[in-house]
Amino acid sequence: MRFTGPKPAHASHRHSAHGHAARSGSAPRTRRRVVPAADAAAANSAESGTTSARRVAMASTIGTIAEYYDFFVYGTAAALVFGKLFFPSSDAFIGTIAAFASFAVGFVARPIGGMVFGHYGDRLGRKKAMVVTILIVGIGTVVIGLLPTYAQIGPWAPAVLILVRVLQGFGVGGEQAGAVLMTAEYAPPQRRGLMTSLVQLGAPAGFLIPSALFAVLTGTLSSEQFLSWGWRIPFLASALLVVIGLYIRLRIHESPAFTQIREAKTMASAPLRDVLRDFPSVTARGLLAKLVETVSFTFYSMVVLAYGKVHGIPSNVILRTIIIAVIIELFTIPLAGWLTDRIGRRPVFIAGATVQLLLIWPFFHALETGGLALQLAMIVALPIGHALCFAPQASLFPELFPTRVRCSGIALIWQTGSLVGGGVFSVLAIKLVQMADGEPIELILYIAVICVVSIAALLSLPETAPGRRSGATAQERDLHDWGALPQPGKRV
């Protein structure tokens, strides 16, 4: 835009001189483009918004790494040592089932935590919920690292272990919804898929760190040393991650979308009730879509360890294979998030579910073969199949709900799906293998059905990526106004 104000007195002289220079063949002098103050302010605001979104994404990711580290360290220990230390039995298989049952208890608490912190996040703010959840999970993990075993205090050991696990599940139940939502409400609409996928790095990174620690410990310590004190190290080490995550989260500001409705006093008085009343169909379909991601990650990261233990496959071999795959997934998750901004949330999510459906049968053959076949199968399963499911849901689920109930809506989908696909599945998977005398056929069929159900749910959901919807601007192309009240009784 050119400056259109009054010309200075010497402007006509410059114009005449310029005209003379042009006619005489000399090059005219380049005139500086003057940018209006309003345009400059808008550009600075956009740049500031992008910087804030990146800062919030980093804070959410680091905090999520800390929380998922705390949650997954238990799952790995349940597969490796908790059966012997806290649930002794003459049958090692029964002890493993009992240990996984205690792992599943955490998933039972997750929907409760999701509903409580979802309400808390919609009523009092996303930031406050994120601070409380990281404290709950972190303190619980350190307590487990200090807990006496069954041999030392008898049945009190598993009782306290299960109680702490319930508290962990309660805290994690509010974590992912708050962290993803905080980033989504800061991110520019056209980059929301990429920005929110960065928060998803917390889960594989939170799994990777304890898995690497356990792999090192099992490879360097004797069995007696590991069972005596080595297993405690990953639990106690979580204190450092929690302190870092808490420090960063305390330094970020509240979500701008939530700040808007708080100032306008348009917050929902009972957000969970409003979700169930106004969005029952989309919530149910979102929950079913979530299942394939939770089932696949639980299977490849934890159930495979227990299956391999029963069939005599060395745990350190499987752990190394999982670690390689998860390292690669740290790069494929942002790529999948970027892809959702280009082609849509649903196509990417459906592609990931399809990969899981086609892979489950050959994966068991690769598991029994071992070596390169197992590594290749795991690389397809996690860095490709799981990443294509995990990245899209971070933007898809927030976009299904308006601001005033968004935290409750996401938490309900995320944590109920995690309960069914993670907690129930982890116990049922081991039981199915036991019922089939160690053969995986029933487990394969169960996972295949979950994949088909999730694909059907995804096909019925609306496409929410602003880049794939009609409208003059990215904000207009959003399924919901990110700051306004939903239409009364509106259903999706």
What does the pLDDT look like over 440-462, one tens digit per residue? 888 888 899 999 999 999 999 99
Mean predicted lDDT score pLDDT of the chain: 80
Phi, psi of 94 (to 5 degrees): -65, -40
Residue carrying structure tokens 């049945």: 155
Average pLDDT over residues 285-311: 86
Query: What pLDDT sits at residue 475?
Result: 59
Of 484, 455, 100, the C-alpha closest to 285 is: 455
Of 325, 352, 54, 326, the C-alpha closest to 196 is: 54
Q: State what percent of residues in the chain have pLDDT above 70.
A: 83
Query: What pLDDT sits at residue 4?
Result: 45
pLDDT-derived band of residue 474, with 50, 70 and 90 as boundaries?
low
Most confident among 48-57, 261-270, 378-387 (mean pLDDT): 378-387
- Specify the DSSP element, H or E, that contains 294: helix 280-298
pLDDT-derived band of residue 19, with 50, 70 and 90 as boundaries?
very low
Instruction: Tell whether the model's pLDDT for residue 250 goes beyond 50.
Output: yes
Average pLDDT over residues 275-290: 95
320 and 372 Cβ atoms separated by less than 8 Å: no
Of 69, 194, 203, the C-alpha closest to 140 is: 69
Query: What pLDDT sits at residue 408?
Result: 92
> Token pair for residue 161?
């272990």
pLDDT-derived band of residue 180, with 50, 70 and 90 as boundaries?
confident
CA 244 to CA 59: how far, in whole Å? Answer: 10
Query: What pLDDT sits at residue 293?
Result: 94
pLDDT-derived band of residue 409, with 50, 70 and 90 as boundaries?
very high
- The C-alpha angle with vertex 289 and arms to 342 and 374, in degrees rounded to 5, equals 85
Query: What pLDDT sits at residue 94?
Result: 62
Lowest-pLDDT choice from 30-39, 258-267, 348-357: 30-39
pLDDT-derived band of residue 238, with 50, 70 and 90 as boundaries?
confident
pLDDT-derived band of residue 96, with 50, 70 and 90 as boundaries?
low
pLDDT-derived band of residue 5, with 50, 70 and 90 as boundaries?
very low
Query: What pLDDT sits at residue 38?
Result: 38
Of 140, 130, 447, 113, the C-alpha closest to 294 is: 447
Q: Going from the N-terminus, what domains does the chain have, and what CATH number goes with each? A: 55-464 (1.20.1250.20)
| Burial (Cβ within 10 Å: 0-12, 13-18, ≥19) of residue 203 | buried
Most confident among 237-246, 294-303, 452-461 (mean pLDDT): 452-461
Instruction: Tell whether the model's pLDDT for residue 389 goes beyond 60.
Output: yes
Buried b or exposed e, range 363-390, using 16+ CB within 10 angstroms:
bbebbeeeeeebeebbbbbbbbbbbbbb
Instruction: Tell whether the model's pLDDT for residue 51 goes beyond 60.
Output: no
Residue 236: how many CB atoms within 10 A of its CB? 13
Please write the tens of the pLDDT for every residue from 327-351.
999 999 999 999 999 999 999 999 9
CA 322 to CA 304: how far, in whole Å? Answer: 10
**Beta-carbon-side half-sphere exposure of residue 233 (alpha carbons within 13 Å):** 18
Average pLDDT over residues 395-417: 91
| Burial (Cβ within 10 Å: 0-12, 13-18, ≥19) of residue 310 | middle
Residue carrying structure tokens 């490709």: 384
Average pLDDT over residues 268-293: 93
Lowest-pLDDT choice from 176-180, 425-429, 479-483: 479-483
| Burial (Cβ within 10 Å: 0-12, 13-18, ≥19) of residue 392 | buried
Query: What pLDDT sits at residue 281?
Result: 95
Whole-model pTM?
A: 0.76
Instruction: Tell whether the model's pLDDT for residue 34 goes beyond 50.
Output: no
List CB contacts of 461: < 8 A, sequence separation 6 or more. 282, 285, 286, 289, 346, 396, 400
CA 150 to CA 351: how far, in whole Å? Answer: 46
Query: What pLDDT sits at residue 453?
Result: 96
Comparing 44 with 149, the larger pLDDT belongs to 149
Instruction: Tell whether the model's pLDDT for residue 56 goes beyond 90.
Output: no
Lowest-pLDDT choice from 50-59, 189-198, 238-247: 50-59
Instruction: Tell whether the model's pLDDT for residue 164 goes beyond 70.
Output: yes
Query: What pLDDT sits at residue 46?
Result: 42
DSSP string, 224-253: HHIIIIITHHHHHHHHHHHHHHHHHHHTSP
Query: What pLDDT sits at residue 195?
Result: 93
| Amino acid making up residue 408 | S
144 and 86 Cβ atoms separated by less than 8 Å: no
Per-residue CA distances from 428 to 109, 374, 433 (Å): 18, 23, 9
392 and 340 Cβ atoms separated by less than 8 Å: yes
Q: How far apart are the first and last CA of the chain?
A: 43
Comparing 397 with 205, the larger pLDDT belongs to 397
CA 379 to chain centre: 19
391 and 334 Cβ atoms separated by less than 8 Å: yes
Query: What pLDDT sits at residue 23?
Result: 43
Query: What pLDDT sits at residue 55?
Result: 78
> Token pair for residue 261?
């409705």
Q: What is the DSSP letter of 48?
A: H
CA 477 to chain centre: 24
